[in-house]
Structures are given as structure tokens and as C-alpha cells.
Amino acid sequence: MLPRNVRMKKGMKKAMKKAMMAGILLTVGAACNTSEGYQITGTLPEVENGTQIELTGIDTNGQDSLLVAGVVTDGNFEIPVTGQCIMACLRIPEVLPRIPFFFEPGIHSYKLEVDAEGSMQVKGGALQEIWNAYSARNKAFDQEKKKIETAYREAAKRDDLFEKMHHRAIYEDLKTAQEQYEDSLLRQNDNIVAATLVWLRSRELAVARKIGEKVALLGPNALQTPPGQAVKRMAEAMSCTENGNIAPDFTQNDPDGNPVSLYGIQAKVKVLDFWASWCGPCRAETPNVRRIYDKYKDKGLEIISVSLDTKRENWLQTIETDKMEWIHTSDLKGWDNAVARMYGVRSVPAIYVLDAENRIVGQNLRGQELEDTIRMLLNE
């Protein structure tokens, strides 16, 4: 059974494809009244009774938060939303991806349309049109990049060096143009749409260490919106964790409930490792980390792993199974982990290497590169 009671009738995928070809999958209407809030209704064909429709927003920490949910009854659903709402995402787990839409004064209905290619967009309001224009242009860039990637692979099979260089140059030009288009949109739209764009890309931008650059392009109105405030906090946190800065101190409990302070740990080199039991890449790297720890733990290395788990049993079982015999902490709040928020962590694994003065000297190092950095700091 799929999560959250998402159930599809037999042949639903085929029915959904037919609906996409028809051009309309789901119709959403939102009635606006300052005292009564919004009423969102819609029709979703071929979805079994009880399937959950979620309306999610942005909480104070920049994560998805479930505002309210409805269920499909006889192909229809109705979601009441009380209070003020300016932006939300509509989704059906395992069926419909997250579709952002923006509430505007005077706009009383929103319509989610799906074109023949399966692209979905909500219609209704000026803000929505800005978002839709961006989505269409960005999709076109991605499609062109995929064509160039295919051409590059074909040239590689022929071992055609000239063609490979040609396609690589075109690809880089497309990436630059796509980045410039996005930056222009952020500069020209001092509103929630620009802030939402940065928020939705925050994990990708965090890995590339580019959140600060994008936030700097947002205007004052955009920064005052919930997604604007969220990405501003992320940018501020990440600015404190650039190489050369002193790592922020924190205190969090270990599995036995004992408080662990980063600055209280005495070591020549510290590896601060953000991970989770459900993170495949994290666990794939564990044997290498364990090998490095065993090799250098008596020479001044210490590892502090901060888990983004929510279930204590999963956290502790993985520590035991993977033989992670170093320091561990967690508050079991998942992506809302206090230390992860402090460091602006938006994806795992995330690794920081600190020297004896807690200065950050490396980030997201793995394999031999991680060991080489540790060995250099230990003068080995």
C-alpha cells in the first residue's frame, strides 16, 4: 500500500494519461473571503475514494508543512482553508507532484491544467502567470540540455574529440543562459514568486553553496514573504560555515541523553558529519569514514555525527549495524534538527572538517580527499 492512503484504481495510470492528453487533469477553485478563508474544491477522475489531497505551505524553518488535507469522494474533493494564505502547494503523494500556486486578492478560482506532454501548471492570477512563464522557459532549457547530453554521448562513442568539445561548449552556454534568465527573473520580480523559486531550489543551491548569491538578488518585498524569510535564514547560516570561518558551537544530546558540545570536544581534527539512517549515500560512505577513524583516532581525530532521523530505533540500529563507533547526537526532529538549521544543511551527507581551533578547513569531502585533508591537518 502506498503512503498516506494513496490508492489508485486499476488502470489509473492509463486513465491519467488520457486525462493529460485531454488537457485537463484537475480543476481547483478557491473562494476568498477575509473572514472565512478559502475553499478549494476539485475533481480528479479515476482516483479511488479516500485518496488524500494535500495542501502544503512553508513553516518558519523553510520546510513543507501540511496546512490541511482533503480526501477524494466519488471523484471530487473539498479542502477548507481558514485564515490568511498567500502561497501553497497542492500535491497527491505518489500521484501528483508539488504544484505551487499563489493566492491573490480578487482571484477566486484556480485551475490545474496538464498539457499533452504531461506538464502541469495552475492557471489564475498575475503572480501565477509569472511562475508559469518561468516554468515553461526553464523546461525548454532543460530539454535543450538533454539533447546536447545525448549528442555528447554519441560523440563519445565515436571517440570524436572535436564533436565532444563542441557539444560541451554548447552545454555550458545553455547553463549560463539558464542561470542568467533565472537571475533576471529574481531581480525583476520583488514578490513571493521570486522568493518561492529560491526556496524550492534551496537544497540544490545549498549543495552548490549558492543560496547567498540568489538571496542577494531578492528585493525587500520578496524577503518579507515566508519563503523569503526561510531562504534568508539559510543564507545567513551558510555564510557562517564558509571555509576559514570558526564553526558555530552547539550542544545536543547523545543516545544516552548526555549533552555533547562541539567546542567541548578536544581533538586536533574534528569531522562534523550530518547524516541519516535513511540516506543511502551517507551509509555508502560509512565504511570509508570508519576506516579513516580507525586509522587516525589515536592520532587526534574525532568524528561527531549529527543525525537527521526522526525515529530513535532507526538511528540507534544503524549506528550499531554500521559500526559507527564515534560520537553521535540528534534531537530526532529530521530536517528540523537544530544543528542542521544552524549550519544551513539542506541535504545529506554534509561533512565539515575542522582544525584544532574549530576553524572550517573543508566541506563535503569524501573518499581519499577526506583522508588527505585529515592527514595534512595531523601532519602525518
Q: Name the strand (E) or helix (H) holding 113.
A: strand 109-114
What is the pTM assigned to this prediction? 0.71
Q: Is the pLDDT of residue 283 over 80?
A: yes
Each residue's pLDDT tens digit, 140-191: 999 999 999 999 999 999 999 999 999 999 999 999 999 999 999 999 999 9
Q: How far is CA 248 from CA 214, 262, 352, in A?
A: 23, 8, 11
The span from the CA of 44 to the CA of 54, in Å, is 13
Amino acid identity of residue 308, one-letter, is L
Q: Name the strand (E) or helix (H) holding 176.
A: helix 161-188
Each residue's pLDDT tens digit, 337-346: 999 989 988 8
Q: Under a CB-based contact definition with an 8 Å cutoff, are residues 246 and 358 in contact?
A: yes
What average pLDDT does the chain have?
Answer: 83
> What pLDDT, on the 0 to 100 scale, is given for residue 82?
63
> What pLDDT, on the 0 to 100 scale, is given for residue 31?
38
Q: Which residues contact 80 (CB under 8 A, 6 or more apart)?
A: 37, 38, 39, 40, 68
User: Which residue, among 342, 330, 208, 205, has the nearest Cα to 276 in the 3D structure?
Assistant: 330
Q: Under a CB-based contact definition with an 8 Å cutoff, are residues 87 and 192 in contact?
A: yes
User: Which residue, among 153, 182, 157, has the nearest Cα to 145 in the 3D structure?
Assistant: 153
Q: Is the pLDDT of residue 215 over 90?
A: yes
The hierarchical CATH code for the domain 3-124 is: 2.60.40
Which of these CATH numbers, 3.40.50.1820, 3.40.30.10, 3.40.50.150, 3.40.50.720, describes 251-377?
Answer: 3.40.30.10
* Domain limits, CATH 3.40.30.10, in the chain: 251-377
Q: Which residue has the higher pLDDT, 223 or 106?
A: 223
Each residue's pLDDT tens digit, 17-55: 333 322 233 444 443 343 445 667 766 666 678 888 787
Q: Is the pLDDT of residue 118 over 60?
A: no
What percent of the chain is predicted at pLDDT more than 90? Answer: 56
Each residue's pLDDT tens digit, 122-150: 777 899 899 999 999 999 999 999 999 99
Each residue's pLDDT tens digit, 229-248: 989 988 988 888 889 999 99
Q: Which residues contact 56 (CB under 8 A, 6 or more apart)?
A: 64, 65, 66, 67, 88, 89, 91, 98
For the segment 201-222, the average pLDDT, to the nearest whole number, is 91
Q: Which residue has the higher pLDDT, 30 or 370?
A: 370
> What pLDDT, on the 0 to 100 scale, is given for residue 33?
41
- Name the pLDDT band for 258 (thresholds 50, 70, 90): very high
Based on its alpha-carbon atoms, the radius of gyration of the chain, rounded to whole angstroms, reads 24
